[in-house]
């Protein structure tokens, strides 16, 4: 005899919730998941009426479920939000082009406006070209730094008050683990909280799904028949996050509440009062938030543009100082910074004339994205 739904007591159960173990029918699961998301939005005071919210839309399951839920709950509960889909095109052939097609389908079906901003138009480099210069490792370092900034720049162009991202409970737990393993105390707080404040060129962010288990997001997308893209990025196998994910899966197998526990730990961490965190200022070159004279994106770009792609990663402060002081590097030092044995003569990628998002200099708030070439790390 089939199990009956523990919520309505009438329909046959269609699933057992990974989060609670309750057996629910499809309708009761969808209702519970939507109500929990609504409660998280209200309890966390994530939005205010009249705000424009840019939904970071990658075409994957999390952001597709987020966009669907925000549109549904905005109508159901009268949040009064103006919702816009904001996608970043990193320039990864066979991955991002296919996932952007899923975003476009969602845009046409839902009627939500869509804005796409690309690394090529912002930085003059696609991720595929960066990977050709850099090799198989560290691509996610570049991609993560550039994406964070690209989302802010896209949101500023749209006049958005907030960016909502599809990070789920598993993502938050992985981030907590990863930052523990790296000893990155500053990011530990940022990764687990409800969101981040804005300022200095950054738009406030929130994660309405941060308590939702990945498995339940997949179930929700399945039962709603949502159309999303699920192939992994070609550079993902090299990402450090993958090790944290594997470790988390092992922990979860032994203790199912490990995902929620880690997120909870991250939120409740208290920092020593005498701990000095880097002060936030603005980048001298592009005006974006930075804790050094140049923001991380500008340092990474400097390395790429000089043909020294590892200049901005790893412990190369001495070599950065040499460059800043105008001293020439030896061949060995150039090789350590990733310079090819001989220049490969590749022509920089052309900036698209406006692109899909139509980013023009005047729309960048008067900031100089590529900036002067004098170096001050």
At 143, is the secondary structure helix, strand, or coil?
helix
At 23, is the secondary structure helix, strand, or coil?
strand
286 binds, options ligand SF4, Zn ion, none, Cβ within 5 to 8 A by partner type: Zn ion
Of 152-160, 208-216, 235-243, 330-338: span binding ligand SF4 (CB under 6 A)? 235-243
Among 283, 300, 304, 375, binds Zn ion (CB under 5 A): 283
Tell me how far apart the alpha carbons of residues 280 and 62 are, in angstroms, rounded to a whole number. Answer: 30
Q: Distance of CA 43 to CAs 35, 36, 37, 65, 194, Å?
A: 12, 10, 10, 20, 10
174 is an interface residue for ligand SF4 by CB under 6 A: no
CB nearer to ligand SF4: pick between 33 and 229? 229
CB nearer to Zn ion: pick between 96 and 153? 153
Spell out the SS3 assignment of 93-132.
Answer: CCCHHHHHHHHHHHHHHHCCCEEEEEHHHHHCCCHHHHHH
Cβ-count burial of 7 within 10 angstroms (0-12 exposed, 13-18 middle, 19+ buried)? middle
Tell me how far apart the alpha carbons of residues 63 and 229 are, in angstroms, rounded to a whole number. Answer: 10
Q: Where are the beta strands (DSSP E) in the chain?
A: 15-16, 23-24, 52-56, 82-89, 114-118, 162-164, 195-196, 205-206, 281-282, 289-290
Residues making up the chain, counted from first to last: 377
- The 199-228 site mask, x for binding ligand SF4 (CB under 6 A), equals ------------------------------
CB nearer to ligand SF4: pick between 238 and 351? 238
Kindly state the smallest distance separating residue 296's Cβ from Zn ion, in Å: 8
Starting at the edge strand found earlier in the chain, the sheet holding 162-164 runs 114-118, 82-89, 52-56, 162-164, 205-206, 195-196
139 binds, options Zn ion, ligand SF4, none, Cβ within 5 to 8 A by partner type: ligand SF4
At 52, is the secondary structure helix, strand, or coil?
strand
5 binds, options Zn ion, ligand SF4, none, Cβ within 5 to 8 A by partner type: none
At 155, is the secondary structure helix, strand, or coil?
helix
298 is an interface residue for Zn ion by CB under 5 A: yes
CB nearer to ligand SF4: pick between 27 and 236? 236
295 binds, options Zn ion, ligand SF4, none, Cβ within 5 to 8 A by partner type: Zn ion
Kindly state the smallest distance separating residue 147's Cβ from Zn ion, in Å: 15
At 167, is the secondary structure helix, strand, or coil?
coil
Among 99, 139, 165, 175, binds ligand SF4 (CB under 6 A): 139
The residues in 97-136 that bind ligand SF4, with binding defined as CB under 6 A, are 127
160 binds, options Zn ion, ligand SF4, none, Cβ within 5 to 8 A by partner type: none
Among 140, 202, 304, 369, binds ligand SF4 (CB under 6 A): 140
285 binds, options ligand SF4, Zn ion, none, Cβ within 5 to 8 A by partner type: Zn ion
Among 185, 236, 247, 329, binds ligand SF4 (CB under 6 A): 236
Among 61, 148, 162, 285, binds Zn ion (CB under 5 A): 285
47 binds, options Zn ion, ligand SF4, none, Cβ within 5 to 8 A by partner type: none
At 195, is the secondary structure helix, strand, or coil?
strand
CB nearer to Zn ion: pick between 141 and 175? 141
Spell out the SS3 assignment of 234-283.
Answer: CCHHHCCHHHHHHHHHHHHHHCCCHHHHHHHHHHHCCCCCCCCCCCCEEC
- Identify the DSSP state of 343: -
Question: Of 116, 146, 143, nearest to 234 (Cα)?
Answer: 143
295 is an interface residue for Zn ion by CB under 5 A: yes
Of 76-84, 116-124, 174-182, 289-297: span binding Zn ion (CB under 5 A)? 289-297
CB nearer to Zn ion: pick between 69 and 289? 289
- The 64-103 site mask, x for binding ligand SF4 (CB under 6 A), equals --------------------------x-------------
What is the binding site for ligand SF4 (CB under 6 A)? Answer: 90, 127, 139-140, 143-144, 233, 235-236, 239
What is the binding site for Zn ion (CB under 5 A)? Answer: 283, 285-286, 288, 295, 298
């Amino acid at each position: 005899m089939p199990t009956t739904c523990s919520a309505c007591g009438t329909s046959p159960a269609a699933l057992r919730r990974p989060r609670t173990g309750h057996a629910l029918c499809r309708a009761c699961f969808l209702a519970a998941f939507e109500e929990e998301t609504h409660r998280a939005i209200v309890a966390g005071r994530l939005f205010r009426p009249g705000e424009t919210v840019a939904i970071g839309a990658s075409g994957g399951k999390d952001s597709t479920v987020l966009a669907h839920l925000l549109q549904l709950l905005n109508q159901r509960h009268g949040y009064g939000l103006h919702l816009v889909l904001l996608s970043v095109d990193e320039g990864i052939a066979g991955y991002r082009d296919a996932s952007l097609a899923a975003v476009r389908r969602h845009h046409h079906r839902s009627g939500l406006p869509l804005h796409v901003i690309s690394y090529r138009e912002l930085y003059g480099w696609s991720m595929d070209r960066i990977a050709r210069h850099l090799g198989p490792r560290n691509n996610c370092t570049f991609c993560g730094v550039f994406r964070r900034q690209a989302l802010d720049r896209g949101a500023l162009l749209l006049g958005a008050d907030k960016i909502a991202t599809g990070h789920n409970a598993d993502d938050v737990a992985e981030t907590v683990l990863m930052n523990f393993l790296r000893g990155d105390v500053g990011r530990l707080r940022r990764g687990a909280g409800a969101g981040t404040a804005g300022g200095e060129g950054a738009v406030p962010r929130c994660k309405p799904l941060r308590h939702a288990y990945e498995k339940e997001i997949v179930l929700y997308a399945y039962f709603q028949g949502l159309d999303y893209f699920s192939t992994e990025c070609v550079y993902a196998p090299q990402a450090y996050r993958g090790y944290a994910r594997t470790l988390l899966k092992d922990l979860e197998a032994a203790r199912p509440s490990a995902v929620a526990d880690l997120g909870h730990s991250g939120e409740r961490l208290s920092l020593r009062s005498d701990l000095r965190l880097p002060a936030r200022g603005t980048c001298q070159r592009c005006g974006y938030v930075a804790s050094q004279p140049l923001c991380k994106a500008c340092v990474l770009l400097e390395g790429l543009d000089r043909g020294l792609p590892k200049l901005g990663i790893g412990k190369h402060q001495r070599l950065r100082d040499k460059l800043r002081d105008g001293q020439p590097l030896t061949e060995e030092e150039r090789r350590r910074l990733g310079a090819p044995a001989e220049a490969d003569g590749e022509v920089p990628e052309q900036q698209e004339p406006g692109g899909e998002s139509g980013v023009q200099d005047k729309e960048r708030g008067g900031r100089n994205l590529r900036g002067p070439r004098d170096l001050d790390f």
